Chains A and B, each alone.
Chain A
Amino acid sequence: MSISPGPYLVVAAALFTIGAVGLLVRRNVLVMFMCVELMLNAANLSFVTFARKLNDIGGQSAVFFVMVVAAAEVVIGLGIIVAIFRRQSGATADDLHMLKG
């Protein structure tokens, strides 16, 4: 017998919160991006777990699409970061506060 879905979900939840806290705490833009990837992975893990539990292949298809979109997102995001860092090297997330009200 394999392991029931419960622990997998707990691992996914822990991964998600670590990624979220990292996003909130780190200032380096690339590290923040990596934390986003952590969160996406946690979601993928949950999807796969539920696909096995509900015996539905649709969960794995969702993971497929999540990965595609994550790839596209990383491409664009890094392009933006490159564009920002051309102006001002060594910038952190805190330096981009021009929308202060």
Chain B
Amino acid sequence: MIHAAFLIPLLPLLGFALLVVAGKRLGDPLAGWVATLAVAGAFVASVIVALGLHQHHQHAQTQLIFEWLPVGGFHVNASILVDPLSMTMALFVTGVGALIHLYAIGYMHGDSRYPRFFVYLNLFIFSMLSLVLADNFVMMFLGWEGVGACSYLLVSFWFERPAAASAGKKAFVTNRVGDFGLMTAMFLIFAHVGSLTYGPVFAAAGGLGRGTATAICLLLLLGACGKSAQLPLYVWLPDAMEGPTPVSALIHAATMVTAGVYLMARVAPLLAQAPDAATTIAWVGAATALFAATVACAQNDIKRVLAYSTISQLGYMFLAVGSGAYVAGLFHMVTHAFFKALLFLGAGSVIHGMHDEQDMKRMGALRKWMPITSATFIVGWLAIAGVPPFAGFWSKDDILAAAYHKGFALWLIGFVTAGLTAYYMTRQVALVFFGRARWGTGEEAAHVAANQEGHGATPHESPWTMWVPLVALALLATFGWLINAPWHPANFLERWLDPVVGAFSVAHGPSTAIKVSLAAITTVLGLGAIGLGFVVWDRSAEHSELEPEILRQAWYIDPAYAAVIERPGEMLANFSADVIDHGLIDGSVNGVASLVRDSGRELRRLQTGYVRNYALGIAAGTAAMLAYVVVRTW
């Protein structure tokens, strides 16, 4: 059964190829169904392979597709690594991906470039699967770049909008900075180990010096920060909300941004050799989580809140990995995929129903008009806020317990962030689904009426292709925690991942008593924040004192980057264009021409046309020659 592994990346690739060739002819909605079936097929293949792996007691295997670079002693193969970690990733990438493809069929209906969207989506799934299924760093890097490229293509899908085009560029360029770190880490690994395949590298991990291992891990962290939008390379993610909502859900919530966490988990053997790097990862994650949570409290765009929320939750995952709790981090990754995708798809449904309105201050009381969307969104809200027994509660508390074990300050940051998370999500739910309807009267009605496009003036529920995935994800968000309940033998995920990360995970966490009390006070904080948020925001949408400008502007980091990085770059470019190109290069080329022209003009004055002047020249020459002879023979 494991031999079906090659189908996992193959099916989306075939879907991509078919849609490239015949997408336009298939059209709306057939192209979307082809894409969805390709990914669903990949999901079925993943299930089969995972079951096969389980039969082999989670013993890792490799399926060789072809030899790519056999160069002397250095081999890079296109192989699929079937081990618990890669199969976990493959399962939820294809599963959640298939649901989002189904959703996109309805969401993108009517778009002029409908088939192209699914071309890009399938290509993305293929790249992501290459990333997680690779057995060496090079193939992983190919997938890494592939998802970056697809992210660029998809974020700037509506490229006629300048904001979308520049957001795509920003995503790509910021990721490039991270990729530099990843590439340098690969160079270092190769220099010290001589191979880039996971097996030999991790086997030789023990022989690496501490400084080398720390350098490699910090560089890998840089790469992960770029892809997973941590400080300081997070700036592309909020802007990437310019892309269509399925893109935000798939790429920027469930899959691409988790590539960084996956990378950190994959190199657990290396991290075990570099405890300083692990601590750095934990602090980066904690700081990012807190930072993003504060900013999310003051955003008005429904998708931007979720974007900052994603950054914050990814920070939690990094905190877990840095604290040595790999299973907790991966568990949170899976549950986060469920509820964040749910929240994004729900937001998309709201936007669709509100005729492309995205400002939460212009929404309100939508639960009456969009029942399914609001019910599923509320499930997602409860999950992310950490309310038991929804999925987020279990995974978040695992992380906080590990953080407590690592350091009290880390735990405290995580704890405060949990409270902020509950607060801002409650604010969002209250503004959108509860309270007064702020879209029916006066200016709001005119705005809505202007966006009608054939819909009615009131919001409406979405078609079945859109709410079926919502319901599916809501069920996963509710019951998905069962894959890793904290008591034995229900901790399936922990036992499943044990061969990969067990040796490197923290052996003894805090005691059960401490864990329970931590969970209790976190829950109390969460419920309190929910209550506060509801009370404040259900009544009125105007509370500018709770939305200070500094938070709304995300602590002015973007303008700071512009001043520090863009301005010098611009100045250098202007200098190059004006001084070097125009002055120096053009000047010297034109100068040569001027020199020739001017010297010619001056020399022309010798040619007076008068014979007598020429004769004078001859006489002068004669006198000079005679002078030479006189001097020589004197």
Contacts and interface: CB of A to CB of B under 8 A. Distances in A.
Do the two chains touch directly in the complex (Cβ atoms below 8 Å apart)?
yes
Contacts of B615: 23-24
Interface in B582-619: 604, 606-612, 615-616, 619
B520 to A, nearest CB: 103
A99 B616 CA distance: 16
A100 interface: yes
A27 B615 CA distance: 12
A24 B623 CA distance: 14
Contacts of B610: 93-94, 97
Contact of B612 (A93, A98, A100): A93
A75 interface: no
A99 B609 contact: yes
Contacts of B609: 97-101
Contacts of B619: 20, 24
Interface in A1-43: 20, 23-24, 27
A54 interface: no
A96 B611 contact: yes
Interface string A39-82: 00000000000000000000000000000000000000000000
A24 B604 contact: no
Contact of A94 (B604, B606, B607, B612): B612
- Helix, strand, loop or mixed for chain A's interface? loop
A99 B608 CA distance: 8
Interface residues on A, range: 10 to 19
Contacts of A98: 609
A101 B610 CA distance: 11
A93 B607 contact: no
A27 B608 CA distance: 15
A7 B615 CA distance: 28
B154 to A, nearest CB: 68
B612 A101 contact: no
Nearest to B614: A99
Contacts of A99: 607, 609
A93 B608 CA distance: 13
Interface string A84-101: 000000000110111111
A71 to B, nearest CB: 22
B608 A100 contact: yes
A99 B607 CA distance: 8
Nearest to B603: A101
Which of B608, B611, B616, B619 has the largest count of A CB atoms less than 10 A from its CB? Answer: B611
Interface in B544-598: none
Which of B608, B610, B615 has the largest count of A CB atoms less than 10 A from its CB? Answer: B610
A35 to B, nearest CB: 10
Nearest to A27: B612
Contact of A101 (B604, B611, B616): B604
Contacts of B611: 93, 96
A24 B616 contact: yes
Nearest to A94: B610
B223 to A, nearest CB: 69
Contacts of A20: 619
Interface in B530-553: none
B613 to A, nearest CB: 9
A96 B604 CA distance: 18
Contacts of A27: 612
A97 B608 contact: yes
A98 B604 CA distance: 14
A93 B615 CA distance: 12
Contacts of A94: 610, 612
8 contacts: A23-B612, A23-B615, A24-B615, A24-B619, A97-B608, A98-B609, A101-B604, A101-B606
Interface of B: 604, 606-612, 615-616, 619
Interface of A: 20, 23-24, 27, 93-94, 96-101
Given A20-B619, A97-B608, A100-B608, 18 more contacts: A23-B612, A24-B612, A24-B615, A24-B619, A27-B612, A93-B610, A93-B612, A94-B610, A96-B611, A97-B609, A98-B609, A99-B607, A99-B609, A100-B607, A100-B609, A101-B604, A101-B607, A101-B609
* Pairs A-B, 10 closest by C-beta atoms: A100-B609, A101-B607, A97-B609, A101-B604, A99-B609, A97-B610, A93-B611, A24-B615, A24-B616, A93-B612
